[in-house]
Amino acid sequence: MSDHRVPGIPGTSGFTGKVALVTGAGQGIGAAVVRTLFRLGATVAATDIRAKAVTAAAAEPDPETGRAPSAGAGAGAVHPYELDVTDPAAVERTVERIGRELGPIDILVNVAGILRTAPVAELTDEDWAATFAVNVQGVFFTSRAVVPGMAARGSGSVITVASNAAGIPRTGMAAYAASKAAAVMFTKCLGLEYARSGVRCNVVAPGSTDTPMQWALWSDPQAPARVLDGDLASYRTGIPLGRIADPQDIADAVVFLASDQARHITMQDLYVDGGATLR
Ligand SMILES: NC(=O)c1ccc[n+]([C@@H]2O[C@H](COP(=O)([O-])OP(=O)(O)OC[C@H]3O[C@@H](n4cnc5c(N)ncnc54)[C@H](O)[C@@H]3O)[C@@H](O)[C@H]2O)c1
């Protein structure tokens, strides 16, 4: 079977006939990952705590293919599922259901995440617990439910969307940055444990990306300019490439790591932040 190729992602192959599970797929980066996997010919389980958001996104005609992702005809289809990644029983049930309805999961993309900002002294117990529940436990629950099946079949790919905040301290972001650093190391340990089983586990670390999560940080009209220029008062570097990422920039890195072209890449952390962390 020849692979479906898409202009803009040259040479990325290995998606036809594959089943992908994406968490946090209702908007922003998760929705872009779903669209891209769909265009590449994958069957995608688009999951989110907000079922209506994934159902609506799947019903909208795709601007590139003109086809509604939920139509299901030809290569590529999107199937919406409600899933709260903080609920381990729901994760087990939904993974089992996706396996039954769509087939064994080949690609897992952990995108669901939340951001609570506050100085440390003002972070509540609930802020801390909620942040770790989604950003860390969520990644653990989904990976634990999916990866043993991949290993039994001898192949699979996990990509965790973390953040460049995992690699550089940020004021007001202690809970978020700590949670993302935990998710990064969890994903790398997972990659080591399962390398001999043919399962690759990698991280994509976005910088500021044009989504509702980012918009929530913009308190005045100058905020996007401060993101680009940096802000010495908060010890924040700017973005050397001079632009805020589109969700598609992040999705392209995710699908590269999921593709056959990345077959010898595991336990890596790919920063997609326009150089913001000066790595
Ligand atoms: N936007 C940025 O600037 C940026 C930068 C670095 C990292 N990230 C990371 O990228 C990922 C996606 O971010 P985004 O900007 O698209 O965020 P977003 O807030 O726009 O979308 C996040 C999605 O996750 C879903 N979600 C939240 N809690 C959930 C749960 N318990 N179970 C399932 N789904 C849940 C939401 O309903 C939403 O659809 C997140 O992990 C985020 O931390 C974003």
Q: What is the pLDDT of residues 40-67, one digit of tens each?
A: 999 999 999 999 999 998 888 888 778 7
Q: Rounded to an integer, what distance in angstroms lies between the CA atom of residue 119 and that of residue 66?
A: 46
| Predicted pLDDT at 70 | 74
What atom of ligand 1 comes closest to residue 29's alpha carbon?
16
CA dihedral 262, 148, 47, 50 (to 10 degrees): -130
- Residue 155: pLDDT band (50, 70, 90) is very high
Q: Is the CB of 12 under 6 A from ligand 1?
A: no
Question: 239-273 pLDDT, tens per residue?
Answer: 999 999 999 999 999 999 999 999 999 999 999 99
pLDDT at 5 over 60: no
Ligand 1 center from residue 48 Cα (angstroms): 10
Q: Rounded to an integer, what distance in angstroms lies between the CA atom of residue 147 and that of residue 155?
A: 9
Q: Rounded to an integer, what distance in angstroms lies between the CA atom of residue 180 and that of residue 185?
A: 9
- Residue 69: pLDDT band (50, 70, 90) is confident
- Tell me what the mean pLDDT of segment 78-84 comes to: 97
- 208-244 core/surface letters (b: 16 or more CB in 10 A; e: else): bbbbebbeeeeeeeeebeebbeeeeeeeebbbeeeeb
- More confident position, 104 or 67: 104
Q: Find, among 186, 275, 188, 279, the residue nearest to 239 by Cα.
A: 275
Query: Is 176 annotated as catalytic?
Result: yes
86 CB-near residues (< 8 Å, 6+ apart) = 133, 134, 137, 138, 141
CA-closest residue to ligand 1 atom 40: 113
Q: Is the CB of 48 under 6 A from ligand 1?
A: yes
Q: Which two tokens stand for residue 231?
A: 């802000």
- Tell me what the mean pLDDT of segment 29-36 comes to: 97
3-state secondary structure of 196: helix
Average pLDDT, the chain: 94
Give the total residue count for the chain.
279
- Residue 7: pLDDT band (50, 70, 90) is very low
CB atoms within 10 A of CB 101: 12
Q: Is the CB of 156 under 6 A from ligand 1?
A: no
Name the residue with tokens 């909620």: 130
pLDDT at 71 over 80: no
Contact between residue 46 and residue 79 where contact means Cβ atoms under 8 Å apart: yes
Contact between residue 199 and residue 147 where contact means Cβ atoms under 8 Å apart: yes
Strand partners, 236: 231
| Predicted pLDDT at 2 | 40
- Residue 73: pLDDT band (50, 70, 90) is low
- Residue 72: pLDDT band (50, 70, 90) is low
pTM: 0.95
pLDDT at 201 over 50: yes
- More confident position, 116 or 2: 116
246 CB-near residues (< 8 Å, 6+ apart) = 32, 209, 210
Q: Which two tokens stand for residue 278?
A: 């000066």
Ligand 1 center from residue 112 Cα (angstroms): 5
Q: Rounded to an integer, what distance in angstroms lies between the CA atom of residue 129 and that of residue 104?
A: 32
Write the DSSP assignment of 20-33 as a string of letters: EEESSTTSHHHHHH
Contact between residue 51 and residue 57 where contact means Cβ atoms under 8 Å apart: no
